[in-house]
Chain A
Amino acid sequence: MAASDVVFRVKRYRPESGGRPTFQEYTIPYRNDMVVLDGLNYIKDHIDPTLTFRWSCRMGICGSCGADVNGQPRLTCGTYIRDVHKGAVTVEPLSNFPILKDLVVDFDDFLRKLASVTPYIVRKDWGDLTKEYVQYPEDVEAYRQQSLCINCMLCYAACPVFGSSPEFVGPAASALALRYNRDTRDEGADARLARLNTRTGVWECTFVGECSVVCPKDVDPAAAIQTLKFLATMRHMRRLLMPGSSSR
């Protein structure tokens, strides 16, 4: 093994062979500017073509390439080997998800949760199709941060609550719900808060905060969830005092 080699320990799982996931080691040549994804591609192209993982854009915007690298959920395209090279680089599928094959996990559950928070503009009257709705720069800024979610699932992998309670709506879906609630063009806040003000909604969250730590886009879903707790509570109180009222 040359001095400039690096060892990758990758968790393998073959669905057609069954059994349990096991580690497999590969030694690959190393350049200082390689990211973990480059390593995985080297293995697949030159050593073991059976290694299976998702990737596409390689620039941290498509959200495909999430994996647990040395125990931390990261995007493999955005993680430099030099930053995680502690003797060996350990790559495993994202925690908290069922494993389909090798590093590929099943996150259909998230898409159902996303659909459940009504992730689109809701309005009674759509108005004139020849004119945009007026929205000032500070209004855009109000929901910009939550709109940056690339659905990479790192936050779900980091969340121990989701790990033990898989029905929890989760960080990303909550952040996107807040994104729409804060959008001045939307009128669907009431329905979203009703959905989130449930046991499977935001109340499962105990503010561990790891989701915001691992988020590659600084969406800060933890803050979004606490804000939603407050908004959901206010809505609940309003409805107790004035039945039939709804949030804007």
Chain B
Amino acid sequence: MERTSFDIVVVGGGAAGLRTAIAAAEADPELTIALVSKVYPMRSHTVSAEGGTAAVLRDYDSFELHALDTIKGSDFLADQDAVEFFVARCPEEIIRLEHWGCPWSRDEDGRVSQRAFGGMSVKRTVYAADKVGFHILHTLFQTSMKYDRIHRFDEYFVTSLIVDGGACAGVVAMNLRGGTMVAIQGKATILATGGCGRVYEFTTNGFIKTGDGMALAYRAGVPLKDMEMVQFHPTCLPGTGILITEAARGEGGYLVNKDGERYMQRYLPSKMELGPRDILSRAMIQEMKAGRAFEGPYGLYMGLDLRHLGAKKINERIPMVRELVEKYMGLDPIHELIPVRPGQHYIMGGVSTNGKGETTLPGLYAVGETACVSINGANRLGSNSLSECLVFGAACGLAAAGFAKKKASYPRGAAAREALKKEEARVFDGVLGRERAKETVAGLRVEMQQLMERDVGIFREESALADACGMLGKMRDRFAAVGLADKDRVFNTELTAVLELDFMLDVALAIAHSARNRRESRGAHSRTDFPQRDDANYLKHTLAFRTDGPPRIDYVPVTVTKWQPVERKY
């Protein structure tokens, strides 16, 4: 039984987690920081982000404009004070990353380039060809190696938080390679575990995006905010769900239906392919329903046309798009249409935090896709998410560092020891001891994913949502019967899959119930039975609190500062 004690414990090694750890390390050379991740940090899903990261860097742009674009994009559900804080700090984060070696693409004069992106009025998306997430992640990971005081716990799977005296005192984690449980104590704990896309069947997300941090906070009594706000990205490859970046449209790509028509002129003529993602995804579904889609072995799809961009532009600005399409579709986008269809990509909702990443549980923070501040409201603009990880990672790291410095004593060992014993019993004796019978982890997981895809997708309505809530509740109960064939403790990925399913069921329930209770359409949440936006009743954030039964839903008002909600017209 190991035990370790730190000032700050960061769970998750992606852009948000690494930025937080570095910020804390730079804030105070005395602080000790643990970076706990269930995968090696460079495997975090940040790595797959493609298009870019937004910041106001030039004279033709302004914080006002970036804020307005973001707030309008969010369908006025974003907290405007947080958005103002956010946009003002994006530029310094981009520059800081640049100083740390991030290979931003450059203009002829040597300055950082910016491209157009969906929902952005001007070109403010900084990019690194079309591998922005890869470059940001590796820059942050390699820069984090500068600091000895960041102690990494690679391939440690966090199974629960340690709560002592009404505050978070660290985490209990399973050392995958050693097959043991350890309690990692911290004065401050930061959840940066990303989103939960794998609750859906068709998602751009990697296998590891299972909402772990969200469920951990949820189980400790922290509410999940705006969980119904799920983003479906319009351009995913059919079958695999691999993302084709918005940058393809930012660089001038068209979306066409089977008649070769740029159908967006019927839905959003002012912005066409560069409208916000929720509008584009809905437009695609409507085109499909109207019978104007292509048909393929994986269902209906539309065409993304890059042929008019030319080989030079494609190879320079979006080379990975070409690589992915060639490899996974056997097509060359220089000469052929790319088949695309909408898929789950991001969740605007998450652990409810304030502008510093603080949750309602003292000592517990959340940042990145795991958190909901909220700056993205009901729909996120592309390229705001990476900037969010950087800005709030820095803010949260600083806040947590300040909190840890002020806290004189480390958490009591007794609470950690107790939590550790409990988790060992729950996981090793309990879960691991269950025999694999009729109910299997893969079977139940696929059922949940298909249910979410069908009933809590792009278009929602009451009976499907009610059905989803009921079925998910039953799945929660059926989960108790899921057993395991692999009885080893060392690197048991069947066990981690079961624990992840446990997290996902909690998160899926929060999503479904939040969606059912929001009887309006706003941003990405689209109800066919309540097609209008209803500011009078719903200009507020949904809060979902975990109970033994269905989640308890409550609401909290949206913070409006300068921009009075108006109809979201482009």
Asked if the two chains touch in their complex, CB atoms less than 8 Å apart, one says yes
Contact B177–A100 (Cβ < 8 Å): yes
Contact B142–A62 (Cβ < 8 Å): no
Q: How large is the interface on A (under 10, 10 to 19, 20 to 34, 35 or more residues)?
A: 35 or more
Let me know if A5 is at the binding interface, CB within 8 A. Answer: no
Considering only residues 109-146 of chain A, those with a C-beta below 8 Å from chain B are: 111, 114-115, 119-121, 126-127, 129-137, 139-140, 143-144
Let me know if B180 is at the binding interface, CB within 8 A. Answer: no
Contact B39–A16 (Cβ < 8 Å): no
Q: How far is the CA of A133 from the CA of B103 in the complex (A)?
A: 11
CB contact under 8 A between A62 and B494, given known A130-B95, A135-B110, A137-B108? no
Q: Shortest beta-carbon distance, B126 to chain A, in Å?
A: 10
Contact B48–A61 (Cβ < 8 Å): yes
Chain A interface, DSSP helix/strand/loop, else mixed? loop
Q: How far is the CA of A100 from the CA of B98 in the complex (A)?
A: 37
Let me know if A11 is at the binding interface, CB within 8 A. Answer: no
Contact A56–B494 (Cβ < 8 Å): no
Contact B145–A49 (Cβ < 8 Å): no
What are 7 pairs between A and B in contact, CB < 8 Å?
Answer: A48-B485, A49-B485, A58-B207, A58-B240, A100-B491, A126-B99, A149-B138
Contact A129–B207 (Cβ < 8 Å): no
Q: Shortest beta-carbon distance, B195 to chain A, in Å?
A: 14
Note all chain B residues with C-beta closer than 8 A to A185.
99, 101
Q: How far is the CA of A178 from the CA of B287 in the complex (A)?
A: 50
Note all chain A residues with C-beta closer than 8 A to B98.
132-133
Note all chain A residues with C-beta closer than 8 A to B110.
134-136, 139
Contact A78–B327 (Cβ < 8 Å): yes
Let me know if B135 is at the binding interface, CB within 8 A. Answer: yes
Which are the 10 A-B pairs with shortest beta-carbon distances? Answer: A45-B442, A134-B110, A50-B486, A56-B206, A119-B142, A121-B101, A57-B206, A49-B485, A101-B491, A49-B494
Q: How far is the CA of A54 from the CA of B491 in the complex (A)?
A: 10
Q: How far is the CA of A109 from the CA of B174 in the complex (A)?
A: 21
Contact A56–B106 (Cβ < 8 Å): no
Q: Contact check: which of B108, B146, B208, B441 meets A120 at CB < 8 Å?
A: B146
Q: Shortest beta-carbon distance, B333 to chain A, in Å?
A: 16
Most buried by A among B96, B109, B328, B441: B328
Q: How far is the CA of A132 from the CA of B440 in the complex (A)?
A: 53
Considering only residues 26-72 of chain A, those with a C-beta below 8 Å from chain B are: 33, 44-46, 48-50, 52-64
Contact A186–B324 (Cβ < 8 Å): no
Let me know if A205 is at the binding interface, CB within 8 A. Answer: no
Note all chain B residues with C-beta closer than 8 A to A176.
142
Contact B42–A120 (Cβ < 8 Å): no
Contact A58–B101 (Cβ < 8 Å): no
Q: Contact check: which of A106, A119, A129, A183 meets B177 at CB < 8 Å?
A: A106
Note all chain A residues with C-beta closer than 8 A to B104.
132, 140
Contact A60–B327 (Cβ < 8 Å): yes
Contact B442–A46 (Cβ < 8 Å): yes
Q: Apart from A54-B39, A120-B145, A131-B95, what are 9 other A-B pairs with CB-CB below 8 Å?
A: A49-B442, A50-B494, A62-B48, A63-B43, A64-B43, A100-B490, A129-B92, A135-B106, A140-B104
Let me know if A151 is at the binding interface, CB within 8 A. Answer: yes
Note all chain A residues with C-beta closer than 8 A to B441.
49
Contact A121–B42 (Cβ < 8 Å): no
Contact B206–A129 (Cβ < 8 Å): no
Considering only residues 14-57 of chain B, those with a C-beta below 8 Å from chain A are: 39-40, 42-45, 47-48
